[in-house]
């Protein structure tokens, strides 16, 4: 065993009902005097509640998925005009992403208060979209200095969005098993994240009318954080590269795209990494077959993920979210250019076209022994 693992510097607080107090503590720790609060309209009430008493200099409401460059530039200008010295983001991954875009050029510290299970708050990864191309990169300046988790803030999250967001979180873990920087530490973190999400998410769906099931939301937030930390270390693998291309080029919804594409990428790669596939199957609550057949172990992981997706009523087809069948050849070519060479299984334009075609139509993911 030989590896180099870097642990990212970040404070994390998880406390049910404690967001306002924890946030005030973090702002005070930074000695911030002019704070920019970024919160979309849907998160305005939450932001009003938890930021009361903060030295707020500007409130920014405009948030869009995939962070268009022109939006980032307007938010940066607003931050400069107000002479802010810290950023507070309240919302999901798009909100955190916009805060990161501002921090990328200003170096301003971010305190993230997530209301979904996106995971962006735990990574130094930024993304900006321009001309149908989503560029991503890694920069320590965009890693939030603190994250405040509070399960009460996600109590009003619609079940469908909670499912898509939770599966997006789970995708961080799965990708981290074989991404370019994968190591035993981030694999362990990721698999524990999978276990927590596999416990928490079904309870959220089963108790959709029970807004008081904070234990399930705590589990989901815990799993979301671990998954994101594993991804932050391992980097983007095949799955995330595909989803970034689809989101940037075709403006597909981020979380739903991840939820749909994930099982197909797992089915593609799992036979080449049977030991990891077996551990993933167990973390998802599945059972392993007898014997040492790699294809059977890979199938166990895919079956366990599919069983979870079925329980959750997960999104199934990219065509349901605006991707046209005529776009598939171009999408396959765009994705091919982005896939890391370290992917466990060689990737061709034909194999990507088949994978995307299955995800587009919502077909069952299939294990193939030969590529």
Residues 110-120 pLDDT 10s: 999 999 998 99
Closest CA to 120 of 6, 258, 218: 258
Of 156-160, 189-193, 258-262, least confident by mean pLDDT is 156-160
> pLDDT at position 362, please?
96
Please indicate, yes or no, if residue 314 is contained in any of the structural domains.
Answer: yes
d(CA 272, CA 279): 14
Tell me: pLDDT of 125 over 60: yes
User: Token digits for 282?
Assistant: 């167990």
Residues 122 and 219 in one domain: no
Please indicate, yes or no, if residue 289 is contained in any of the structural domains.
Answer: yes
Tell me: pLDDT of 191 over 70: yes
Please indicate, yes or no, if residue 178 is contained in any of the structural domains.
Answer: yes
Of 3-7, 143-147, 218-222, least confident by mean pLDDT is 3-7
CATH of the domain at 278: 1.20.1090.10
User: What percent of the chain is predicted at pLDDT more than 90?
Assistant: 86
Instruction: Kindly indicate the confidence band of residue 208, based on its pLDDT and cuts at 50, 70 and 90.
Output: low
d(CA 266, CA 268): 5
> pLDDT at position 299, please?
94
Residues 59-84: pLDDT tens digits? Answer: 999 999 899 999 999 999 999 999 99
> pLDDT at position 61, please?
96
Closest CA to 252 of 70, 34, 66, 77: 66
Residues 147-180: pLDDT tens digits? Answer: 999 999 988 888 999 999 999 999 999 999 999 9
Q: Using DSSP, state whether 226 is helix, strand or coil.
A: helix
Residues 93 and 195 in one domain: no
Please indicate, yes or no, if residue 26 is contained in any of the structural domains.
Answer: yes
Please indicate, yes or no, if residue 2 is contained in any of the structural domains.
Answer: no
Residue 217 C-alpha from the chain's centroid: 16
Residues 102 and 245 in one domain: no
Domain containing 256: what range? 168-361
Structure-derived torsion over alpha carbons of residues 245, 250, 255, 257, reported in degrees to the nearest 10: -80
CA dihedral over 278, 280, 283, 286, signed as positive or negative: negative
In order, the DSSP letters of 260-300 are HHHHHHHHHHGGG-HHHHHHHHHHTT--PPSS--HHHHHHH
Question: Residue 158: CA atoms inside 13 Å, Cβ hemisphere, count?
Answer: 5
Residues 257 and 350 in one domain: yes
Closest CA to 269 of 174, 183, 359: 174
Residues 50 and 103 in one domain: yes
Residues 303-349: pLDDT tens digits? Answer: 999 999 999 999 999 999 999 999 999 999 999 999 999 999 999 99
CA dihedral over 84, 87, 91, 94, signed as positive or negative: positive
CATH of the domain at 135: 3.40.50.1970
Contact 269, 239 (CB under 8 A): no
**Which domain-ending residue is among 105, 129, 154?**
154
* Number of domains the chain contains: 2
Residues 191 and 299 in one domain: yes
Tell me: pLDDT of 369 over 80: no
> pLDDT at position 205, please?
87
Residues 211 and 249 in one domain: yes
> pLDDT at position 347, please?
95
User: Token digits for 180?
Assistant: 């370019």
Contact 120, 138 (CB under 8 A): no
d(CA 240, CA 82): 35
Instruction: Kindly indicate the confidence band of residue 296, based on its pLDDT and cuts at 50, 70 and 90.
Output: very high
Provide φ and ψ at 186, rounded to 5°: -70, -25
d(CA 52, CA 20): 8
Average pLDDT over residues 127-140: 92
């Amino acid at each position: 065993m030989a590896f180099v693992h870097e642990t990212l510097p970040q404070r994390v607080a998880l406390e049910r009902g404690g967001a306002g107090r924890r946030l005030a503590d973090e702002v005070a720790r930074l000695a911030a005097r002019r704070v920019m609060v970024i919160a979309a309209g849907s998160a305005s009430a939450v932001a009003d509640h938890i930021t009361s008493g903060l030295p707020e200099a500007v409130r920014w409401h405009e948030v869009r998925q995939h962070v268009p460059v022109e939006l980032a530039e307007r938010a940066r200008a607003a931050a400069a005009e107000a002479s802010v010295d810290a950023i507070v983001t309240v919302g999901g991954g798009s909100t955190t992403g916009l805060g990161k875009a501002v921090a990328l050029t200003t170096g301003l510290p971010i305190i993230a208060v997530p209301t979904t299970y996106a995971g962006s708050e735990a990574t130094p990864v930024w993304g900006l979209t321009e001309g149908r191309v989503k560029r991503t990169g890694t920069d320590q300046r965009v890693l939030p200095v603190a994250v405040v988790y509070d399960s009460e803030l996600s109590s009003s999250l619609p079940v469908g969005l909670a499912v898509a967001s939770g599966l997006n979180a789970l995708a961080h873990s799965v990708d981290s098993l074989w991404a370019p920087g994968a190591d035993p530490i981030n694999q362990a973190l990721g698999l524990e994240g999978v276990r927590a999400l596999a416990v928490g998410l079904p309870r959220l769906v089963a108790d959709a009318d029970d807004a008081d099931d904070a234990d399930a939301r705590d589990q989901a937030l815990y799993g979301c954080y671990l998954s994101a930390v594993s991804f932050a270390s391992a980097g983007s693998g095949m799955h995330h590269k595909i989803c970034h291309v689809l989101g940037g080029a075709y403006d597909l919804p981020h979380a739903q795209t991840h939820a749909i594409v994930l099982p197909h990428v797992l089915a593609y790669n799992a036979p080449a990494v049977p030991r990891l596939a077996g551990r993933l199957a167990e973390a998802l609550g599945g059972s392993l077959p007898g014997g040492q057949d790699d294809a059977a172990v890979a199938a166990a992981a895919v079956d366990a993920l599919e069983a979870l997706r079925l329980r959750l009523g997960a999104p199934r087809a990219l065509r349901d979210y605006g991707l046209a069948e005529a776009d598939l050849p171009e999408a396959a070519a765009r994705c091919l250019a982005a896939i890391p060479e370290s992917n466990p299984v060689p990737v061709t334009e034909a194999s990507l076209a088949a994978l995307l075609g299955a995800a587009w139509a919502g077909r069952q993911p299939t294990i193939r022994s030969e590529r």
